[in-house]
Amino acid sequence: MKTSLFLLSLVSIVSTACAEDKQPAKSDQVMTQPKIDLPESEWKKRLTDEQYRVTRTAGTERPNGAEYEKFNKQGDGIYYCVCCGLELFTSNEKFHSGCGWPSFYDQSKANNVKETADPDGHRVEVTCKRCDAHLGHVFDGEGFKTPTNRRFCINGVALNHVPAGGPAPKLLELGSAEVEKKKEEVAKEAGVEVKKP
Ligand SMILES: [Zn+2]
C-alpha cells in the first residue's frame, strides 16, 4: 500500500512538472538530465568560432557551404547537438529540399527539439531542449511530399553526425559545483534521491 501511494504521488509530481511545458519531453535523457546553462565564456572555449556564432548567437551558416556538402555525403546515422550531445535528428527524416541547408521533415523520436515562434510570428525557431542551442527554423506546409510536409531547416554546424551503429557522443556533463547544484534541484523536484559519486 505504501509503495503504491508513493508511486502515485511521484506520478502526480512528474505530471505536474510536465504540464508546465507545452511540449513535454518524451526522452528519458531530457527528463532525468538538468538543463545545461553555461556562461558564454565557457561555450566559447568549447566550440569553434562558427559553432559558437550559430548555436549561441542564433546565427546562420552560409547556404550550400562546406557543412551542407558534408551533410549531403553523410549516410545513415544520428545527429546530435554539437553543444551538449543530445540526440536531435536522424537520417530517417532527412530529405533533399534544395534550400542549401540540411533538411529534415521531422525531429528524432527522442523529441529533444523545441519549437518557439519568433515574436513577429513569421518564423518558428528550433533549439536544443537541453542547452538552448540555436539549430535553425521549421517551416510548415511548403508542399514537400514528405510524411509531415514540414521542413526543419538546420545549420549543419550545429549538428554532430554519428554514422549508424557508432557510439553516441558523451552528454555534456560538468563537474562544476553549479551544475551539481542544479542536478540536485532537478532531482529534488522529481522526488528522486541523488547518489553522490
Ligand atoms: Zn544541446
Residue 195: per-residue pLDDT = 59
d(CA 130, CA 136): 16
Distance 1 CA to ligand 1 centre (A): 41
Q: How many CB atoms lie within 10 A of CB 174?
A: 13
pLDDT at 151: 98
Q: What is the CATH number of domain 25-190?
A: 2.170.150.20
Query: Do residues 85 and 131 make contact, with C-beta atoms less than 8 angstroms apart?
Result: no
| Residue 185 pLDDT | 74
Separation CA 94–CA 91 (nearest Å)? 5
Q: Report CA(195)–ligand 1 centroid distance (Å).
A: 24
Q: How far is the CA of 173 from the centre of ligand 1 (A)?
A: 11
State the catalytic residues.
153
Which residues of the chain fall short of a pLDDT of 50?
A: 1-31
Map out the domains of the chain as residue ranges.
25-190
Using alpha carbons only, give the angle 125, 183, 42 rounded to the nearest 5 degrees. Answer: 60
Task: Specify the pLDDT at position 32.
Answer: 54
Q: What is the pLDDT of residues 10-19, one digit of tens each?
A: 443 433 333 3
Residue 36 Cα, ligand 1 centroid: separation in angstroms?
Answer: 8
Q: What is the pTM of this model?
A: 0.74
pLDDT at 144: 96
Reported as a single tens digit per residue, the pLDDT across 88-130 is 999 999 999 999 999 999 999 999 999 999 988 899 999 999 9
